[in-house]
A = this chain, B = another copy of it.
C-alpha cells in the first residue's frame, strides 16, 4: 500500500462536558467545517502544570478535508473552555469514494 494520502482526515478534540461537545460539533457541521462529528464519553489521565490528573471528557472525532484544519482549529479555540484544547489531525489514506465525496459535498471549499 503506497503511503498515499487523500485530502481528507479526522480531527480529534476533547471537551469537558457533553454540552460543550454538542455545541462545538454542531457549530463545525453548521459552518461546513466538518461533515460529521462523532462524540464518545472517555476517561482522561494527563499531566497539567506538573500534576497527574484524571477527568471525564468527551472525545470528538471530526471528519473533514485537511485543508480546513486551520479554520476548524480557530472555530474550536473560539468556542472551547480550555486554555489549550486538544486539536490534532490524522490522515485518511484510503476511503470509499462515495463517502469521501459525501464529506467533500458537505464541507466548504477553502478560499486561500
A-side residues, CB < 8 A to B, are: 1, 3, 5, 7-10, 12, 14, 22, 25-26, 29-30, 32, 35-47, 52, 57, 59, 61, 63, 65-67, 69, 73, 76-77, 84-96, 98-100, 102, 106
Beta-carbon nearest neighbor of A101 in chain B = B84
- A94 to B52, alpha carbons, bound, how many Å? 26
Copies in the complex: 3
Contact between A38 and B14, CB atoms less than 8 A apart: yes
| Complex-state Cα separation, A41 to B38, whole angstroms | 10
User: Please, which residues of chain B bring their CB within 8 A of the CB of A8?
Assistant: 88
Query: Which residues on B sit within 8 Å (CB–CB) of A92?
Result: 88-90
**Contact between A37 and B44 (Cβ–Cβ < 8 Å)?**
yes
